[in-house]
Chain A
Amino acid sequence: MKPVAFEYCRPDTLAEALGLLAERRSEAALLAGGMSLGPMLNLRMVRPKTVIDISRLPGLDGIALRGDRVITGATVIQADALASPVIRDALPLLVLALPWVGHFQTRNSGTLGGSVAHADPSAEIPLCLVVADATVVLRSARKERRVPARGFFTGALSTVRREDEMVVALDWPRAPADAGHAFEEIAQRHGDFAIAAAACALTLDGARRIATLALGLGGVEDRPIAIDTAAFIGRPADPDTARAIAGSIDERIAPMEDHAASADYRRALARVLVERVVPRAAEAATGGPRRGAA
Chain B
Amino acid sequence: MHPVPSSDQPWVGRALPRKEDRALLSGRARFIDDLAPVPGLKHAAILRSPHPHARIRGIDAARARALPGVVGVVTGAELADAVGPIPSVVRAGIPYFPFAIDRARYVGEPVAVVVADTRYIAEDACELIDIDYDPLPAVASIEAALAPDAPLLHDKAGSNAINRRSFRYGDPEGAFAEADAVVELAYSYPRYASTPMETFGVVAQFEEAPERFTVWSNFQGPFVLQPLMAGALKVPGNRLRLITPPASGGSFGIKQAVMSYIVLLAAVSRALRCPVKWIEDRAEHLTAASAAGDRRGTVAAAFRRDGALIGLRFETFANMGAYLRPPEPASVYRMHSACNGCYTVKHVAVENTLVLTNQTPIGLNRGYGGPQFYFALERVMDIAARRLGIDPAELRRRNFVPRDAFPYHCPAGSILDAGDYAAGLDELLRLADYEALKKKREAARRAGRLFGIGFAAGIEPSGSNMAYVSLAQSAEERAKTDPKSGANASAVVAIDASGSVTVRLDSTPNGQGHATVAAQIVADKLGLKPDDIDVVTEIDTLTSSWSIASGNYSNRFGAIVVGAIAQTADKVARAIRLIAADALEVPPERIELKDGYAKVADGSNRGMPLRRVASRAHWNPNGLPADVSAGIYESTVLSPPTLGSAGADDRIASAVTYGFVVDLVAIEIERRTGAIRVDKYVSVHDVGRQMNPSIVEGQVHGGFAHGLGAALMEELAYDERGNFLAGTFADYLCPTAMELPPVTIGHVETPSPMNALGAKGMGDGSAMLTPAVLANAVADALGRDDVSLPLTLQRVWALANDGAAPARRPAERRETAPQGGLRGEGAVVIPAPPAEVWRRLIDPNELAAIVPGCRSLAQSGPDRYTAEVMIGVAGVRGLYAAEIALEDKQEPVSVRLVGRASGALGFGSGEGMVTLAPADGDTRLTYRYRAEVGGKVAAVGQRLLGTVTRVLIAEFFAALERRIAPRAGPRMPRWLAMLLALVRRSPP
Which residues of A are in contact with B by a Cβ distance under 8 Å? 1-2, 4-5, 26, 29, 37, 39-40, 43-48, 118-121, 154-158, 160, 186, 188-193, 195, 222, 254, 256-263, 265, 268-269, 271-272
Contacts and interface: CB of A to CB of B under 8 A. Distances in A.
Contacts of A265: 674, 793-794, 797-798
B736 A189 contact: yes
Interface stretch (B118-126, B454-462, B473-481): B118-126
B943 A258 contact: yes
Contacts of B875: 29, 37, 40, 45-46, 48
A272 B874 contact: no
Nearest to B905: A45
Nearest to A266: B794
Interface string B648-677: 000000000000000000000000111100
A26 B872 CA distance: 12
A189 B874 contact: no
A154 B733 contact: no
A119 B947 CA distance: 13
Contact of A260 (B738, B794, B876, B973): B794
B738 A189 contact: yes
A260 B819 CA distance: 10
Q: What are the 8 A-B residue pairs with the smallest beta carbon separation, nearest first?
A: A190-B738, A46-B875, A259-B818, A1-B281, A157-B874, A222-B947, A2-B120, A156-B947
Given A43-B936, A157-B944, 14 more contacts: A29-B875, A40-B875, A44-B904, A47-B878, A47-B904, A48-B875, A155-B948, A157-B948, A186-B675, A188-B792, A189-B739, A258-B946, A261-B794, A263-B988
A236 B445 CA distance: 32
Given A45-B940, A157-B873, A262-B816, A256 B947 contact: yes
A11 B658 CA distance: 66
Contacts of B725: 259
Contacts of B29: none
Nearest to A222: B947
B944 A272 contact: no
Nearest to A196: B673
Interface in B934-984: 936-937, 940-948, 950-951, 973, 975, 978-979, 982
A272 B673 contact: yes
10 contacts: A1-B282, A29-B875, A44-B127, A158-B978, A186-B675, A222-B951, A259-B818, A260-B794, A262-B794, A268-B672
Contacts of A189: 713, 733, 735-736, 738-739
Contacts of B735: 189
B209 to A, nearest CB: 36
Contacts of A120: 944
A44 B941 CA distance: 12
B873 to A, nearest CB: 5
A193 B944 CA distance: 11
Contacts of A29: 875
Contacts of A157: 873-874, 876, 944, 948
Nearest to A160: B975
Interface in B108-126: 119-120, 123-124
B728 interface: yes
A188 B975 contact: no
A113 to B, nearest CB: 15
Contact of B944 (A26, A47, A121, A186): A121
Nearest to B939: A43
A190 B946 contact: no
A29 to B, nearest CB: 6
Contacts of B127: 44
Contacts of A2: 119-120, 123
B941 A45 contact: yes
Contacts of B873: 155-158
Contacts of A154: 975, 978-979
Query: Which interface residue of A2, A45, A46, A190 has the most chain B CB atoms within 10 A?
Result: A45
Interface of B: 119-120, 123-124, 127, 281-283, 672-675, 713, 717, 725, 728, 730, 733, 735-736, 738-739, 792-794, 797-798, 801, 816, 818-819, 873-878, 904-905, 936-937, 940-948, 950-951, 973, 975, 978-979, 982, 987-988
B793 A188 contact: yes
A213 to B, nearest CB: 22
Nearest to B801: A268
A156 B942 CA distance: 12
Nearest to A219: B943
Contacts of B978: 154-155, 158
Contacts of A39: 728, 730
A26 B281 CA distance: 29
A88 B713 CA distance: 35
Query: Which interface residue of B124, B794, B877, B941 has the most chain A CB atoms within 10 A?
Result: B794
A257 B988 contact: yes
A269 B713 contact: no
Contacts of A262: 794, 816
Contact of A155 (B282, B794, B937, B982): B982
A259 to B, nearest CB: 4
Query: Which interface residue of A1, A186, A259 has the most chain B CB atoms within 10 A?
Result: A259
A156 B944 contact: yes
Contacts of B797: 265, 268
Contacts of A271: 672
A5 to B, nearest CB: 7
A259 B941 contact: no
Given A157-B874, A189-B738, A43 B943 contact: no
Contacts of B798: 265
Contacts of A160: 973, 975
A188 B715 CA distance: 13
A162 to B, nearest CB: 9
Contacts of B733: 188-189, 192
A286 B281 CA distance: 53
B55 to A, nearest CB: 26
A186 to B, nearest CB: 6
A69 to B, nearest CB: 26
A286 B206 CA distance: 76
Contacts of A192: 730, 733
Nearest to B983: A254
Nearest to B739: A189
A119 B673 contact: no
Contacts of A121: 944, 947
Contacts of B874: 46, 118-119, 157-158
Nearest to B280: A1
A43 B951 contact: no
A45 B936 contact: yes
A48 B947 CA distance: 23
Nearest to B948: A156
A40 B876 contact: yes
Nearest to A193: B943
A110 to B, nearest CB: 14
Given A156-B948, A190-B738, A191-B736, A43 B283 contact: yes
A258 B730 contact: no
A55 B739 CA distance: 33
A258 B942 contact: yes
A256 B975 contact: no
Query: Which interface residue of A46, A48, A156, A193 has the most chain B CB atoms within 10 A?
Result: A156
A225 to B, nearest CB: 12
Contacts of A44: 123, 127, 904-905, 936
A26 to B, nearest CB: 8
A4 B124 contact: yes
A288 B438 CA distance: 44
Contacts of B816: 262
A43 B728 contact: yes
Contact of A269 (B673, B942, B973): B673
Contacts of B675: 186
Contacts of B937: 45
Given A1-B281, A43-B728, A260-B794, A158 B717 contact: no
Given A1-B281, A2-B119, A154-B975, A260 B792 contact: yes
